[in-house]
A and B are shown apart, each in its own frame.
Chain A
Amino acid sequence: MLRFFLNKIALIIPTLIGITICAFGFVRLLPGDPILALAGEHGVTPERYEVLKHQFGFDQPIWMQYFGYIGGILHGDFGTSIETHRPVIIEFMTLFPATVELSLCAILFAIILGIPIGIFAATRRGTVVDQGLMGTALVGYSMPIFWWGLLLIILFSGMLHWTPVSGRIDVRYFFKPVTGLMLIDSILSGQKGAFQSVVSHLILPTIVLGTIPLAVIARQTRSAMLEVMGEDYVRTARAKGLRDIRVVGIHALRNALIPVVTTIGLQVGTLLAGAILTETIFAWPGIGKWLVDAIFKRDYVVVQSSLLLVALIVMAVNLIVDLLYAVINPRIRVQ
């Protein structure tokens, strides 16, 4: 197990270095002068230019610049936002919990609905129910979520006035963040109605962000169940005269869930990419909206750091999923 773990770590090191090179190279690949891009200034005097050049380390050889960049990152220094003049890492830390909360709700929504739908469709293979459910899943899988979000806003916010259009909580409520997750903080604050406000703000973004993972999980669960249900041990269980629910629920499901767990883990990238669109539509103050805003404000330090941080997060989660997979499925460790 330890060897498997070390192997996995060794495999990701080149990618890790590659990610930092990408983030480092990003600023230098931008059209125009990287120094002016980083300073966010136009038309500076030659003296100011030299000062900036020295400040950003551009007077050093390129490999020194790279090691300087890595050194900064290892000390938690990701640079300063051109727009707000605050350290990027602090902005990231204040916005990241919003994205985590939204993504967690979305993936829970997808799991809670997706796995039962997949099982249900598998047990009724080939029937109208199965075809209907899988047809719907394919529609969800093909959904342009930015449009889906707008549709839900038109229907539930515009016509029915059930949910608010944007944000995380009503402006009437204010409390200091404890965990950063509004669902928990609103309860801790003890303010009346705060929790309901948070939930009503969360519902639509959760559905929008969870739609594609829901479809993926439902399809994957169904095919994993179908595969497992043809296995000998399931047939044996049936032959023993066990009831259907026990065969499906215990013998088949336990084994079918192994590939589904990997699928769920692989949704992290989908979630973070989806968060870029979902947060933009609902004005959700997370890192997705932060990134898009930064691109339009030409805040390249923020773009550079979010590229790096998001890739690191995706990588870390995928590593954890790989390890979890090895824990629940011992066969994989040998390979």
Chain B
Amino acid sequence: MTETTTEIAPVISTKRFAGLREFWHYFAQSRGAVLGLIIFVLLIIVAIVAPLISPHDPIEQYKQFFLLPPSWTDGGNPDFLLGTDPVGRDILSRLIYGSRFSLLIGAFVVALSVIGGITLGVLAGYFRGWVDVVIMRIMDLILAFPPLLLALVLVTILGPGLINAMIAIALTLQPYFARLVRAAVMSEKGREYVTSAKLAGAGHLRLMVITILPNCLAPLIVQATLCFSDAILNAAALGFLGLGAQPPTPEWGTMLANSREFIQRAPWVVTFPGLCILITVLAINLIGDGLRDALDPKLKRS
């Protein structure tokens, strides 16, 4: 018995490896997706080593150096490469630390909405009947509101702040996962392998989580990627409106909110944080497009 398992194990792992290789083959066909992945990996590295590479403390205020222009322009100071903000904080350091917040926001929101969405979607698709009706009508209700509006109102109830903003955004994104998982579960439920697992005596929980769920993963991964960028954009928008992360947190959207009155005098204060948001969101959307092409069997070139 032990001999057979040791023999089978390497076969499975090379099979998995082959699957991964096939996936990478399709993913790498899109140059945009690879570019997005490179940017995203760089961003993760920057976020991890932020304390080592940022020239200043992100919330340290150099009172004598407020609103310094970038170092390559007239009046710039080489100590502050991208200039300083209205209270004399180094913009480059704030941007570097800001990457931590954006990635954290994306990861936290996606994790929260994926867990919530999968749970509700599996329950609805597996049990059908009134469970399905109740869950899906609530999801319809959430989708009836524009996401940013709902997030704004939820933050009004919960109070401004990064954590509350993330919870609010996760709630607005979760119906997409619930719908996706429910549809996938319903189509998988009637297949032979599920019936055979049921005959073998698998319980509800095992059928739901171990038998059915892994077969719905591909569309989930694509949706999660798209929601990652949505989450970053919406959190930045809330920060911009003054309801997300609160100053002096170096979150990119919040940085924009604090410098709006200086846009004519000091355009660089506005330009760089927004550029960071755009590049991050763009990189993730590029990855998302690549994943969709690589994972969606309908679009796969045979």
**Which residues does A use to contact B, with CB under 8 Å?**
14-15, 18-19, 22, 26, 29-31, 135, 138-139, 141-144, 146-148, 150-151, 153-154, 158, 269-270, 272-273, 276-277, 280, 291-292, 295-296, 303, 307, 310-311, 314-315
The residues of A that contact B159 with a CB separation of less than 8 Å are: 31
Q: Is the CB of B286 within 8 A of A138?
A: yes
The residues of B that contact A310 with a CB separation of less than 8 Å are: 145-146, 149
A-B contact pairs, 13 of them (CB 8 A): A14-B137, A19-B141, A143-B278, A144-B236, A144-B278, A146-B253, A147-B270, A147-B274, A147-B277, A150-B270, A276-B152, A276-B241, A277-B241
Asked whether B148 is an interface residue with its Cβ less than 8 Å from the other chain, the reply is yes
Interface size class of B (residues with CB under 8 A): 35 or more
Asked whether B281 is an interface residue with its Cβ less than 8 Å from the other chain, the reply is yes
Asked whether B267 is an interface residue with its Cβ less than 8 Å from the other chain, the reply is yes
The residues of B that contact A153 with a CB separation of less than 8 Å are: 263
Contact A272 to B146, CB < 8 A, known contacts A30-B156, A147-B256, A147-B274: yes
Q: Is the CB of B274 within 8 A of A303?
A: no
Contact A272 to B282, CB < 8 A, known contacts A30-B156, A154-B267: no
The residues of A that contact B149 with a CB separation of less than 8 Å are: 272-273, 276, 291, 307, 310-311
Q: Is the CB of B141 within 8 A of A15?
A: yes
Assembled-state Cα–Cα distance A141/B226 (Å):
11
Q: Is the CB of A15 within 8 A of B144?
A: yes
The residues of A that contact B286 with a CB separation of less than 8 Å are: 138
Asked whether B240 is an interface residue with its Cβ less than 8 Å from the other chain, the reply is yes
The residues of A that contact B242 with a CB separation of less than 8 Å are: 296
Contact A15 to B146, CB < 8 A, known contacts A138-B285, A158-B263: no
The residues of B that contact A307 with a CB separation of less than 8 Å are: 145, 149, 153
Contact A292 to B236, CB < 8 A, known contacts A14-B140, A15-B140: no
**Which residues does B use to contact A, with CB under 8 Å?**
32, 137-138, 140-141, 144-149, 152-153, 156-157, 159, 229, 233, 236-237, 240-243, 253, 256, 260, 263-264, 267, 270-271, 273-275, 277-278, 281-282, 285-286, 289
Majority secondary structure, B binding face: helix
Contact A146 to B237, CB < 8 A, known contacts A154-B263, A154-B267: yes
Identify 4 new A-B residue pairs, CB closer than 8 A, beyond the known A138-B285, A144-B237, A303-B153.
A26-B157, A150-B263, A154-B267, A315-B144
Which of B147, B263, B267, B281 touches A144 (beta carbons < 8 Å)?
A: B281
The residues of B that contact A135 with a CB separation of less than 8 Å are: 32
The residues of B that contact A150 with a CB separation of less than 8 Å are: 256, 260, 263, 270, 274
The residues of A that contact B157 with a CB separation of less than 8 Å are: 26, 29-31
10 smallest CB-CB distances across A and B, nearest first, come from: A147-B274, A273-B146, A18-B141, A273-B148, A142-B281, A142-B282, A269-B146, A144-B277, A146-B240, A154-B267
List the count of A-B residue pairs having beta carbons below 8 Å apart. Answer: 123
Assembled-state Cα–Cα distance A307/B137 (Å):
18
Majority secondary structure, A binding face: helix
Assembled-state Cα–Cα distance A150/B255 (Å):
13
The residues of B that contact A18 with a CB separation of less than 8 Å are: 137-138, 140-141, 144
Rounded to whole Å, the gap between the CB of B193 and the closest CB of chain A is 29
Of all chain A residues, the one with the shortest Cβ separation from B133 is A14
The residues of B that contact A29 with a CB separation of less than 8 Å are: 157
Output the residue of A14, A139, A142, A272 with the most chain B CB within 10 A.
A142
Assembled-state Cα–Cα distance A26/B153 (Å):
8
Of all chain B residues, the one with the shortest Cβ separation from A276 is B148
Assembled-state Cα–Cα distance A307/B152 (Å):
10
Of all chain A residues, the one with the shortest Cβ separation from B151 is A273
Rounded to whole Å, the gap between the CB of B269 and the closest CB of chain A is 10
Rounded to whole Å, the gap between the CB of A83 and the closest CB of chain B is 15
The residues of A that contact B236 with a CB separation of less than 8 Å are: 144, 146
Assembled-state Cα–Cα distance A307/B150 (Å):
8
Of all chain B residues, the one with the shortest Cβ separation from A292 is B241
Q: Is the CB of A151 within 8 A of B270?
A: yes
The residues of B that contact A148 with a CB separation of less than 8 Å are: 274
Q: Is the CB of A314 within 8 A of B153?
A: no
Output the residue of A138, A153, A158, A296 with the most chain B CB within 10 A.
A138
Q: Is the CB of B146 within 8 A of A270?
A: yes
Of all chain B residues, the one with the shortest Cβ separation from A25 is B157
The residues of A that contact B263 with a CB separation of less than 8 Å are: 150, 153-154, 158
